[in-house]
Structure 1
């Protein structure tokens, strides 16, 4: 089954380009919209040269939530990587959001942790995040820490969408 291409674009709060890549629009379910990349796909951070990803992954863009999630295929050592972001916006084959630095990560061994709190604090000041953005980002990080650690849906099991890219 052929899938449409989609552009995935993360920006920083000042509008500058952050991580971006092309992916496959896989479908939608009760959790949101899913995209995927096969092993050997690539993406770039800002205007840096592309990075090739050795393992397949799928991404979840939930509706009306301040986060996105990456579910990596094995043998990637990171099982789930959640970015705290502004609510993803879809427009003409592209999904765009602002990366707010905080990340919730679950490793294959089950460890779950919050990463890049220092970047959040640095950028909160540099970009003058408004109070509502700070509150929404922190609330999303708290929610993700609990949901990922307790394996609540959609973090309970390997997403069925991974089968389309592995």
Structure 2
């Protein structure tokens, strides 16, 4: 479950527990998985296999998408994942997204305008802003350099989704 800083629901869907390694907890979503956005009743169907990485204590999560998705990696800058129990994980979305385009490997940061707007709207504390900016910078470099788990490691987890 992903919430916004004010506590409102942002994204919600079920995934399959795939396992855990030195990078964190990996969850999978096969083609056809249904997910919803907030309380607006928007419902979507996943059209390609996906895995998500929830790293321990980090201020980001990563979604890895199989072809033909335009982006192979989509990282959300978030608060560190909270696991009330093994069957549920919650993060707070901090707006910034760091993405890598499958075709040419280029990396970009998205939603910087939303991040700036929400700092005022939600009153992000200074330490949250610093963690978010630091995570976005680190992710940009790691995706650009294809540092693990953004190199090839995630492909072994994608192969486990069916």
Scaled to the shorter chain, the TM-score interval is over 0.9
Cα distance, 1:53 vs structure 2: 1.1
Considering only aligned residues, what root-mean-square deviation do their CA atoms show, in Å?
Answer: 0.8
Q: Secondary structure of the residue that 1:91 maps to in structure 2?
A: strand
Counterparts of 1:106-145 in structure 2 under 5 Å?
106-109=100-103, 110-145=105-140
Give the match for residue 12 of structure 1.
Answer: 4
Give the match for residue 158 of structure 2.
Answer: 162
Give the match for residue 97 of structure 2.
Answer: 103
Q: Secondary structure of the residue that 1:55 maps to in structure 2?
A: coil
- List runs of 5+ in structure 2 lacking aligned partners: none
Q: Secondary structure of the residue that 1:159 maps to in structure 2?
A: helix
Cα distance, 1:164 vs structure 2: 1.4
Q: TM-score, normalised by structure 2?
A: 0.95
Q: TM-score, normalised by structure 1?
A: 0.93
Alpha-carbon distance in structure 1 between the residues aligned to 2:147 and 2:42: 36
1:37 to 29, 32, 36: 29
Moved over 6 A (4+): none
Give a deviation string over 1:30-60, Cα, whole Å, max 9, x none.
1000000001111011022310111110000
Cα distance, 1:165 vs structure 2: 1.2
Count residues with an aligned counterpart: 158
